[in-house]
Structure 1
Amino acid sequence: MTAKKVGILGGTFDPLHVGHLLIANEVYHALSLDEVRFMPSGRPPHKNTSGGASDEHRIKMVEMAIEEIPYFRLELIEFERSGPSYTYDTIIRLKKRDPGVQFYFIIGGDMIDYLPRWSRITELAGEVQFVGVRRHGSSGETDYPVQMIQTPMIDLSSTLLRQRIRNGIDVTFLLPQKVYDYITKEELYES
């Protein structure tokens, strides 16, 4: 029996944008995955998350963005425990919970450049297949085993979107409409 192939796209998703959806879709098709799980981060050890949306808002935005895509799922494993979220710990817990699943951890070029600083990276590289997508301003080169996937590049970040929303600058086509409507309704990211 062939193992189920599951992509994991982690991130703060503060907010989730069309770049995230494009990457997930491109990797899904390129690797013939069974599904891609969007995994909002709990408390990433390398990011200051002040000034962003609450966990509940971030989760709701992911749910809204993926609800009509049958091969996209929401993965909330990082909210099942407290403290900093280290990818190694999360992957080990996923593998225990879902034995027989082959996980593909999707990362952008900026994270590929950062891999040498990840906690327990050598062990993690033995537990999961890294899948990399290029990002503007990053080399995307590493000594760790990363399967690179060619995707259209969109130079877009959640930080940029928060700034644009805060400054009243149009974000049409950069966010799924349902996510934008939710942000507007909940008055997220406003100054």
Structure 2
Amino acid sequence: MKLCIFGGSFDPVHEGHVRVASRARECCGLDRVLFMPCSLSPLKEQAPSVSDARRCRMIELALKGLDWAVLDRTDLNLPPPSWSWRVAESVAACHPGAELFWLMGKDQWDSLEKWGRWRHLADMATFIVYHRGGAPASREGVRAVFIEGDEPASSTGIREALRAGVCPVPHLNPEVESFIRREGLYGIPRGMAEK
């Protein structure tokens, strides 16, 4: 089985995440993509702005009907901070014999040397790097597949659009948006109905 870990804050998950994962699946022949919300990245100063349970629920809504994409709580069940090598070890232990992949953006690829035990992670998984423009520089001895695209969606932009009263929010799954509005997330008054 070709199994891909797609970690991130998913704060909130958006259609761009799903499109990038789908593209990686097509390019690399992946059997399953694990959407894995992280608890607290060692490289980020702030934790996600909504609870783990709510981020998980949004991911479940965004992935509804996709048999190749699943929510995976492995990282949330490990003590923080979120060490990628530890996540990969846990996934490998749960799926013996699976070929592991790790989906990331170019910004993460560029900062890979800052990750804890990144060489150990590279020994366990092939990196799939989604990027805009020219191909990123390869690293000697590191397996990587580079996928070029121009995905416009961003969680930051979606949070800003929600606070600005945009409705519907571009690139946000309608069920996820309804959940955000019902729960009063990202500065929206709880239960605020769509316009």
Instruction: Classify the secondary structure of the residue corresponding to 2:99.
Output: strand
1:80-99 counterparts in 2 under 5 A?
80-99=77-96
One-letter amino acid of the structure 1 residue matched with residue 108 of structure 2: M
Q: 2:143 aligns with which of 133, 142, 145?
A: 145
1:174 and 2:171 correspond: yes
The answer to whether the Cα contact below 8 Å between 1:7 and 1:37 also exists between their aligned partners in 2 is yes
Amino acid of the structure 1 residue aligned with 2:18? L
Aligned length: 186
* Contact map agreement 1:109 1:139 (CA 8 A) in 2: no
Q: Which moved more, 1:71-80 or 1:42-51?
A: 42-51
Question: What is the RMSD computed on CA atoms of the aligned residues?
Answer: 1.8
Normalised by the size of structure 2, how large is the TM-score?
Answer: 0.88
Identity of aligned residues (%): 28
1:22-41 equivalences in 2 (<5 Å)? 22-41=19-38
After the TM superposition, which parts of structure 1 deviate over 4 Å for at least 4 consecutive aligned residues?
none
**1:48-93 deviation per Cα after TM superposition (whole angstroms, max 9, x unaligned):** 3347111111000000000211111111101222220100011011
Structure 1 residue 7 and structure 2 residue 9: aligned? no
Residue 112 (1) aligns with residue 112 (2): no
- Determine whether 1:133 maps to 2:130: yes
Instruction: Provide structure 1 residue ranges, at least 5 long, that are not aligned to the other structure.
Output: none
- Residue 15 of structure 1 and its aligned partner are, at CA, apart by 0.3
1:140 Cα shift?
3.0
Residue 101 of structure 1 pairs with residue 95 of structure 2: no
C-alpha separation between the residues in 2 aligned to 1:166 and 1:188? Answer: 10
> Structure 1 residue 135: deviation in Å?
4.1
Q: Tell me, which stretches of 5 or more residues in structure 2 are unaligned?
A: 189-195
1-structure distance, mates of 2:138, 2:183: 41
* Counterpart Cα distance in 1 of 2:156 and 2:177: 15
Q: Which has the higher contact order (CA 8 A, sep 6+)?
A: 1
Is the 1:108–1:135 Cα contact (8 Å) retained in structure 2?
no
